[in-house]
C-alpha cells in the first residue's frame, strides 16, 4: 500500500539510522580484531569447514578498501549500504508477493513447480543449499515471468550522453529519458499474448534470439542492478520454502488485483492468498 510523505520520511530516517549502526558495529569489530591479533578483516576468503569458502561481505570489502585509501566518508559508505538494504528488501518482497499471486492463479504451473521441488528435496525438511537453488530451473522461469509482468521497479530514468534519433525525432544529449519496463515487457513483437503468465517464455530456446533490452526488470547497461543474481536466489529460497509446505490459491483475479505504481510496483491492499497444507 502507498505511504504518506511523513511515513516515508520516517522510514528513510530509520534506514539511515540502522545503516550507520551497521557501519559503526562493523568498524568496531575490525578495530577489535586488529588489536587482538594485529589483523583486520581477513584479506582472503575463510574456509567454513564445510568444504566451501566464506566470501567477504560487501560492507567488509568497502571498509577494508577504505582503510588503505580513506576516500569514503561514513556517509559515502552508508549510501552503499542503504542501496543493498533498501533495494534488497522492498523489491524482493514485492517480487515474491507477485510470484505467489500468479502461481495461485496457475494451478497447472504450480503443480509442476511442486514436482520440481519434491524431486530436489525427496521429502526432506533440510534447508535449501546453493546446489538446490541451482536445480530450481522451472521456479526460476516463474520468477522471471513474474518480473516481466510485474517488474519490481517498473520505471527508471537515463540521461542521454549523446544525440540520438528516436521514433523519427532528434533527441539531444543531456535529455532525461524515462523507461517504463512495465510496458516494454508487453511488446507483442517479443512476448506474444503478452498478458498471459507463461514461464516457458524463458526456456533457453525462447530467449536466445530475443533482443537483450526487451526484458529489463533489473534495468540494463552499465547502471543495471548489481544485486540481480542475489535477488533471484533470495526469491527462490523463500518461495520454495513456502511451496514445499503449501499449495497456494489467489483470492483475486488479475483484473481484480489493483497495482500501485510507486517507486516499487506494489499490490494495492496487499495480496490475498489461501494456503492449503501439503501432505
C-alpha span between 250 and 236 (Å, rounded): 19
Residue with cell 578498501: 65
Which parts are annotated binding residues? 225
Cα angle at 238 between 82 and 55, to 5 degrees? Answer: 55
C-alpha span between 267 and 93 (Å, rounded): 11
Which parts are annotated binding residues for heme? 225
- In the numeric block, which cell numbers belong to residue 88? 534488497
Handedness of CA 232, 236, 238, 239 (dihedral sign): positive
Q: Which residues pair with 179 in a beta bridge?
A: 156
In the 3-class helix/strand/coil scheme, how is 3-61 assigned residue by residue?
A: CCHHHHHHHHHHHHHHHHHHHHHHHHHHHHHHHHHCCCCCCCCEECCCCCEECCCHHHH
Contact 146, 95 (CB under 8 A): yes
String of DSSP letters for 181-208? HHHHTT-TTTSSSTTS--GGGGSHHHHT
Contact 153, 91 (CB under 8 A): yes
Contact 103, 248 (CB under 8 A): yes
C-alpha span between 117 and 102 (Å, rounded): 18
Amino acid at each position: 500500500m502507498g505511504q504518506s510523505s511523513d511515513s516515508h520520511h520516517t522510514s528513510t530516517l530509520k534506514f539511515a539510522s540502522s545503516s550507520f549502526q551497521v557501519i559503526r558495529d562493523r568498524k568496531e569489530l575490525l578495530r577489535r580484531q586488529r588489536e587482538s591479533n594485529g589483523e583486520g578483516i581477513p584479506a582472503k576468503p575463510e574456509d567454513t569447514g564445510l568444504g566451501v569458502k566464506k566470501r567477504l561481505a560487501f560492507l567488509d570489502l568497502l571498509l577494508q578498501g577504505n582503510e588503505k585509501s580513506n576516500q569514503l566518508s561514513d556517509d559515502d559508505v552508508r549510501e552503499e549500504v542503504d542501496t543493498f538494504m533498501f533495494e534488497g528488501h522492498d523489491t524482493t518482497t514485492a517480487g515474491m508477493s507477485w510470484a505467489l499471486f500468479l502461481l495461485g492463479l496457475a494451478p497447472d504451473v504450480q503443480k509442476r513447480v511442486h514436482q520440481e521441488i519434491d524431486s530436489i528435496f525427496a521429502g526432506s525438511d533440510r534447508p535449501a543449499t546453493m546446489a538446490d537453488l541451482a536445480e530450481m530451473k522451472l521456479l526460476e522461469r516463474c520468477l522471471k515471468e513474474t518480473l516481466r509482468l510485474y517488474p519490481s521497479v517498473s520505471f527508471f530514468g537515463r540521461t542521454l550522453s549523446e544525440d540520438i534519433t528516436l521514433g523519427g525525432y532528434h533527441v539531444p544529449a543531456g535529455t532525461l529519458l524515462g523507461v517504463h519496463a512495465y510496458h516494454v515487457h508487453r511488446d507483442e513483437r517479443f512476448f506474444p499474448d503478452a498478458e498471459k503468465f507463461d514461464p516457458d517464455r524463458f526456456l533457453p530456446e525462447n530467449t536466445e534470439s530475443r533482443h537483450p533490452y526487451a526484458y529489463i526488470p533489473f534495468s540494463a547497461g552499465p547502471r543495471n542492478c548489481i544485486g540481480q543474481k542475489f535477488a533471484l536466489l533470495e526469491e527462490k529460497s523463500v518461495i520454495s520454502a513456502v511451496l514445499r509446505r503449501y499449495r497456494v490459491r489467489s483470492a483475486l483475479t488479475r483484473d481484480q488485483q489493483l497495482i500501485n505504481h510507486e517507486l516499487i510496483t506494489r499490490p494495492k491492499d496487499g495480496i490475498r492468498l489461501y494456503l492449503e497444507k501439503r501432505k
